[in-house]
Amino acid sequence: MRTEKLYIKGQWKDSAAGDYFDVLNPADGSLVGKMAAAGKEEVLEAIAAADQAFEEWSNLPAQVRSGYMKKWHELLQEKEEIIARTLTAEQGKPLEEALGEVRSGTSYVEWYAEEAKRVYGETIPASSSPKRIMVLRQPVGVTAAITPWNFPASMVARKISPAIAAGCPVILKPAEKTPFSAVEIIKLAHEAGIPKGVIALLAGSAELIGDTLLEDRRVRKITFTGSTDVGKALMKQSADTVKRVSLELGGHAPYIVFDDADLDKAAEELMGVKIKNCGQTCVSANRLYVQESVEKELVQKLSEAFSKIKIGNGFDKDTQMGPLIDGDAYRKVQEHVEDALSKGAKLVTGGEGFHKGDHDQAGYYYKPTILVDVTADMKIMKEETFGPVLPIQRFTTEEEAIQLANNSRYGLASYVFTESLNRGIRVSEKLEFGIVGLNDGSPGTAQAPFGGFKESGLEREGGHFGIESFLEVKYVSISMK
């Protein structure tokens, strides 16, 4: 069992109150360790340290900030297995999948180490000869980063990297269920020599920490990944101090398979995006729309593949899918399946779960499940399930598929499978989603903009787009008379 502390002003420390909370392994409810819980005193201390560090950090040459980040990247590569094992212990996903997540996060550190040197300004032709117009891009200031439990390593790196590359100190609030992955990552940032105050780690009550960060005018920016409802609440609270806000929120991704698609590829790619992390991802294929003439064949391929998935503890070598994060997640999956079946859906495979261990909030598993004859009025076609359940609805025409896919308040990721280039481009342009995987079930990468339309969020993470949301634009008008 491990015991970890908070990271404030370059030091690991207990909270003044001496409070700790338990971190459980979702595979069986066993105790992974105890994490120090920050109180208001620690939050204010972290804000003050970040505010103090801002001037010096932001004024460092970009190459110097980049150098710190490159060292951090090297250490992350060296210690990737330690981070991955920590991730599996507290989050549950298979170890090989956890290692892939760590590498994904590490790629963002590498990318933004270089992007730090590419924050460009502009000159604009003036309207009169004695004038010059200059545009500067400068860091927005102290940033609060709030990360989720489903990707507790990659989200930490993905949020901190562009912020510190731009010159913004970051106060990190990891999810209470999964703080230890963040601890391992921040330990390496400390080892890389990133100056004190530039990064802080505060674990504990989301309400207490979040409210304190949002109320403080020294915090200029909030970046959050999580549910749409929480994101809306953060937007409302941020309005009082007019903070800059980046939100990566819920998704309800449609996966459209046309009759001219390579069905083997469509099935294989879907398995990856659906079973990954037990379906607990914001870009998971939540709604499969298949053209009626190939429905039977595709369902058969998927049913065979789903039934062979090995479920278990993420540390077992043959495990392909781990547990749901907790009992509430399990009950939500059950509710969605039962609602669909009560309204006429038919079960192809799965449809049941099981519980391991004695803890009532951990050790929950659900078998990969396929439902057919699904209709739009079912909860599973309107709400994000966050579990390994695939509802299938058939369609007839291209126009119908687009209409069904867009009929959602969410607009994060979507997927289209067709061998027609014309159709692929046409449908991609009409889908109201920030990400389209065209014959691609894994479109995420460090150099591309990740984010959604509608109620799936604001701003983008990744690529040069990701650093822009941590920069202010300043216009300088120079009179030379």
Catalytic position from the list 4, 80, 90, 248: 248
List the one residue out of 4, 460, 63, 39 whose CA is nearest residue 246. 460
How many CA atoms are closer than 13 Å to the CA of 274, on its beta-carbon side? 27
Give φ, ψ of 11 to 5 degrees: -130, 145
E-only strand ranges, 386-464? 389-395, 410-411, 413-417, 435-438, 453-454, 457-458
Give the containing element (helix H, strand E) for 428.
helix 421-430
Active site residue 455: no
Catalytic position from the list 282, 295, 383, 384: 282
Distance CA 33, CA 3 (A): 6
Distance CA 144, CA 261 (A): 44
Question: Three-class SS string for 288-337?
Answer: EEEEHHHHHHHHHHHHHHHHCCCECCCCCCCCCECCCCCHHHHHHHHHHH
* Residue 282, token pair as written in the block: 């914001």
Answer whether 280's CB lies under 8 Å from 324's CB: yes
Active site residue 248: yes
Bridge partners, 290 (sequence order): 257, 394
Bridge partners, 25 (sequence order): none
| Helix axes of 180-191 and 62-78: crossing angle, nearest 10 degrees | 130
Give the containing element (helix H, strand E) for 67.
helix 62-78
Instruction: For Cα atoms 246, 249, 255, give the angle at the middle one, nearest 5 degrees.
Output: 130
Q: Are strands 285-291 and 389-395 parallel, antiparallel or unpaired?
A: parallel
Q: Where are the alpha helices (DSSP H) in 149-280?
A: 154-166, 180-191, 206-215, 228-239, 263-275
E-only strand ranges, 49-148? 122-124, 131-139, 142-146
Answer whether 29's CB lies under 8 Å from 358's CB: yes
Distance CA 460, CA 465 (A): 6
Distance CA 224, CA 234 (A): 9
CB under 8 Å to 267, separation ≥6 — which residues?
A: 298, 301, 302, 305
Which residue numbers are catalytic?
248, 282
